[in-house]
Structure 1
Amino acid sequence: MTGFPNSPRVVKGGLVLLDPASAQVQRVIALQYNPDTLTRTLQVQHLGEGAERAEALRLKGPAVETLKLEAEIDAVDQLEFPGQHKTVVESGIAAQLAVLESLINPAAADLLANQALAAAGTLEIAPMESALVLFVWGANRIVPVRVTDFSITEEAFDPALNPIRAKVNLGLRVLSIDDLGFDHRGGNLFMAYLQSRERLAAKAATVGFEALGLGGIP
């Protein structure tokens, strides 16, 4: 909210972690400040150069979409009220950064469990499964993603060298039904996202040939 009583409520972008088996919510991560820019790149899935001429217009599946954003995390606001933010007083924004790092690291308990299986002579150990991550950018844009790039620039520190200001760069790849299938909860969310984009496209204004300086197609 802003300081003006009649101003609209500004929602925050963020990430939601779901259990991949039960789809139960494990954690909600709201960005402290919404990034100024969100870069979206869509790579077309066509049949490729070797396709027959009659197949040139066919698509293999949904475009592969990637997202890039820079999030800022700052402890200044919380440090103004130390009684309400004990963790920030003790460790700065390290806890918030650790939550984001958990997106790309397996849990220590899972690593130890796999090590115990290996020590017991288990021949085949399945790779550890991470949480299903949803990128949320408003109510109409909720997509399953995989973190592909992650970097942290710590810019300021308290006397104990805890970070109190940082920039986090995130690269995300949208997971489609090609990755998850139609029956997966993430696949359902991707289809809902794709359908919402189609509804938006249907609302866009249409123009006639005169806007292109044409009377029709030759």
Structure 2
Amino acid sequence: MSAAPISPRLRKGALIGVDLFNPLASVVAFQYNPDTMTRKLEARGVNADGERGEAFRLAGPPRETITLALDIDATDQLADGNALALASGITPTLAALEMMLYPKSALVIANSILSAVGTVEILPAEGPMILFVWGPTRVLPVRLGSLSIVEEAYDANLNPTRAKVDLTLNVLSYNDLQFLSAGNALFMVHQIAKEVLATANFFNNASDLGAVIRP
């Protein structure tokens, strides 16, 4: 009897908050990859009231919004006696996601002190740079636009043990980021890879081109 074929190891999607001061606080590898993901792209055109003949000019890459839902479940870890799951359920995973929306407390305290001593101009505290990782060809800088959490089960200490999380991610492009930033470079790599794939699509469908243009 032949052996069963070996399935390839499935890559995990992830959200990674890049923070030099606390690099482990906002790293969330998806427990289960979502079955669906919605991507909405809106053209970034020039001013609609501009000169005639400018209709095809673009002010930059499209605005892209990604929405997806994550399932987070500690059932298996609880059954295996995982110490962290027994103590906290899925609270650490939820906290890592939520921290992507928070400025660092140390910066908030520092800004409060500066304000108290009369500093005229105080810059808002920055959150971490967030990367959405979905396979080797999609590593995108994003802003977490919204986060909706539905907690569905609890342990004896009222720690959530199962939840569904809806995420809205706004992709950040070179229109949004500093020229020499890592996020800017990652987006440019993403766009170049997309251009290469689009060219490959032409050659893949070249045999059908004649049928399209033939009278």
Please tell me whether residue 15 in structure 1 is matched to residue 15 in structure 2: yes
In the aligned structure 1, how far is the partner of 2:71 from the partner of 2:34? Answer: 7
| Aligned-pair Cα RMSD in Å | 1.8
CA distance in 1, matches of 2:209, 2:5: 44
- Label 1:132 to 1:67 Cα distance change in 2 as closer, same or farther (>3 A): same
The question of 1:96 aligning with 2:89 is answered no
Match of 2:43 in 1: 44
Map 1:167-186 to 2 at 5 A. Answer: 167-186=164-183
Structure 1 residue 63 displacement after superposition:
0.6
Q: TM-score, normalised by structure 1?
A: 0.88
> Residue 161 of structure 1 corresponds to which residue in structure 2?
158
* Cα drift, residue 181 of structure 1: 3.5
Aligned to 1:53: 52
Give SS of 1:16's match. Answer: strand
Measured after TM superposition, the shift of residue 5 of structure 1 is 6.5
Tell me if the contact between 1:62 and 1:176 (Cα under 8 Å) persists in the aligned partners. yes
Q: Which runs of 4+ in 1 moved over 3 A?
A: none
Shift of 1:112: 1.6
C-alpha distance 25-163 of structure 1, shift in aligned 2 (>3 A): closer
Deviation at 1:25, TM superposition (A): 8.7
CA contact (8 A) 2:37 2:68 kept: yes
Q: Structure 2: 5+ residue runs without aligned partners?
A: none
CA positional deviation for 1:196: 0.8
* Cα shift at 1:107: 2.2
Q: Normalised by the size of structure 2, how large is the TM-score? A: 0.89
Query: In structure 1, the residue corresponding to 2:166 is in which secondary structure?
Result: strand
| Contact 2:28–2:93 (Cα < 8 Å) also in 1 | no
Within-5 A mapping of 1:61-140 = 61-82=60-81, 85-140=82-137
Contact 1:16/1:25, CA 8 A, preserved across alignment: no
User: How far 1:210 sits from its partner (Å)?
Assistant: 2.2
Distance 1:116 1:49 in 2: 46
> What letter is aligned with 1:173?
N
The answer to which of 114-123 and 158-167 deviates more is 114-123
Match of 1:198 among 195, 199, 205: 195
Look up the match of 2:30: 31
Task: In structure 1, list runs of 5 or more residues that go unmatched.
Answer: none
Identity %: 45
- Please list the CA deviations of residues 41-78 of structure 1 after superposition, one character each: whole Å capped at 9, or x if unmatched: 10001124212221111111101111001001000010
Encode CA deviations 1:110-133: one digit per residue, 9 max, x unaligned. Answer: 222221222222222111011111
